[in-house]
Amino acid sequence: MQEEASRQSSCWLIPQPSHAALSGEIGAALRKDLFPGLDKATIHAIALHDAGWGLEDARAIQASRASVAYRPASFISSPVAASIQAWKGSIDIAEKASGAAGGYMVSRHFWLISEAHGKASAAADQKRLADFRSQEQQRQERLGKKSGMDRPTLDKLTEGLQICDLISLYICCGLGSAVELPYGALLTCTGPDAYRITPSTLSSEKTFSIQALLHPKTKADSGATFTARFA
């Protein structure tokens, strides 16, 4: 669904906050026996986990609408400093809007991403990422105590965020090949806008939707709503 315009004549733009909102919808549909601790507040945190990318995405959309020659780039190609700024903003928003457990989940989520990211980064960026992890470790200790939950419970909630993130990203990027999810589940695209998770991590059959902007826009088309049906 979303492809980099640097390799394509056109692409669909899906802002990170929209992807996160889809993740939240998926979170609300997860099986309660797999993730019994997810409640309204922590699902809200999942829906906000990429809110810190809002300003950068708004700039990209503005540039897309201003110039046909603009070439949008995937968030994975963002400089490390910009990514860290977006991560911190996302964590701050989740903590403020969803409480201690929600803030912990998002902080831990990006802590783990930064750890993997650092292995392939230049020395200066590795230092930035290490500093980020050190700061977030302190935040996680504070939020963990404030939440009243033990570490295994909080990490289980983080796993819920991660699986929702993966399913949403799979939908948004338009992959056709099967991918393995946590808990030995296999996520497969079975047809146009049709998906299956085996064994299912969702409580029942669900249909999700997400809006995307066409770049470059045309007189006939500037955006669309895509659906994802899980049987």
Q: Does residue 130 lie within any of the structural domains? A: yes
Q: Does residue 197 lie within any of the structural domains? A: no
Q: Does residue 137 lie within any of the structural domains? A: yes
Q: Does residue 213 lie within any of the structural domains? A: no
Domain span at 103: 11-175
- Distance between CA 20 and CA 91 in Å, rounded? 13
- Distance between CA 160 and CA 26 in Å, rounded? 10
What is the tally of structural domains in the chain? 1
* pLDDT by position in tens, the chain (length 231): 333 444 567 889 999 999 999 999 999 999 999 999 999 999 999 999 999 999 999 999 999 988 888 888 888 889 999 999 999 999 999 999 999 999 999 999 999 999 987 666 788 899 999 999 999 999 999 999 999 999 999 999 999 999 999 999 999 988 889 999 988 899 999 999 999 999 999 999 999 999 999 999 887 788 999 999 999
Buried b (16+ CB within 10 A) or exposed e, 122-140: eeebbebbeebbeebeebb
φ/ψ bin of 148: left (φ > 0), alpha (ψ from -120 to 50), beta (otherwise): left
Q: Does residue 219 lie within any of the structural domains? A: no
Q: Is 190 helix (H, G, I), strand (E, B) or coil?
A: strand
Q: Does residue 68 lie within any of the structural domains? A: yes
Q: Does residue 199 lie within any of the structural domains? A: no
Specify the pTM: 0.92
